[in-house]
Copies of this chain bind each other. A is one copy, B any other.
Amino acid sequence: MYKIGIDIGGMSVKVGLVDGDGKIILKNRRKTAKTPDKVIENMVCQVEELLSEKILSVKDISGIGIGCPGAVTGKTGMVDFLPNLGWKNIPLVQKLKEKLDTEIIISNDANVAALGEAVYGCAKNYNTSIMFTLGTGVGGGIIIDRKLYEGGHSKGAELGHVTLILDGEECTCGRRGCVEAYVSATALIRQTRSAMLENKEPAMWDYVGGDIAWVDGKTAFECAKKGDETAIKVQNQYIKYLAESIMNMLNIFRPDAVIIGGGISAQGKYLTDLVKDYCDKFDYGYKGSPKCDILTASLGNDAGIIGAAALLE
């Protein structure tokens, strides 16, 4: 049966009609409106557009799944807080249901990304998987025995906010030394820039055309691949941060797979091989530990829509 997946973002709201295999049949997007009411009004239009284009009504879909960039309460359908949109305590599901009479489920975007991979993507053959989404921040998603685990009150799975270095770098959450402060793309860029300023070897400077403002999450990796020593140092230190963050979750969840998503996951097997080598060397149970595959996300740009639709599975 078809379902609708909605990906609410700071820039745009994407809506897709998704089939039973997680394939997007049709999709549309609108710029994120300024008020919650206007966003909701737009969402209703966007859904109705997709349905009418396929000559379907809301009764022909199994429901609507929504991924939100912030804190929500799945049970009540309440959006508690979306920092980038300035939403606070919006009864999103209730308001949408007044217009679209079908099952509507919301979750956090990082949770939804993990669920999408587990249901339709690279983790579909694994029972238990953990996803790290490495972007501006670090999102976490936990799938236990094929079910999304959000933590109590839908407020857990904040895997970016686990300490890596007590009293370390400031984190957006108010604490210091969190995984997010070392493993996000933002952190990698900071680490790359800092190494470039300390060591003026030309490779990374050339890569960014002499302008440090152009450093991104690829700079260190691409230059390391070419053998630049400073870049290799940045890369290896970053891999250590990431692999240690992953190993912490191995010791808690012993998942069958860990998925790396977000921009940095574009490094693919190059990245996962480095992480795997580190984990194999330092894993708690050594050779006695259950096997865990390290993968990169497979659903690409539409992961938000597909993952949201997976909430209906």
Contacts and interface: CB of A to CB of B under 8 A. Distances in A.
Interface stretch (A109-117, A267-275, A282-290): A282-290
Nearest to A140: B252
A164 B161 contact: no
A190 interface: no
Contact of A285 (B71, B149, B157): B71
Interface string A284-312: 11101110000000000000000000000
A81 interface: yes
A226 to B, nearest CB: 28
Interface of A: 71, 80-81, 127-128, 140, 142, 144, 149, 151-153, 155-159, 161-166, 173-175, 240-241, 244-245, 247-248, 251-256, 282, 284-286, 288-290
A284 B81 contact: no
Quick one: which of A152, A156, A173, A289 has the most chain B CB within 10 A? Answer: A152
Contact of A244 (B163, B174, B240, B245): B163
A245 B156 CA distance: 15
Nearest to A145: B152
A163 B166 CA distance: 9
A254 B151 CA distance: 5
Contact of A284 (B174, B256, B288): B174
Contact of A174 (B156, B248, B286): B286
Contacts of A248: 161-163
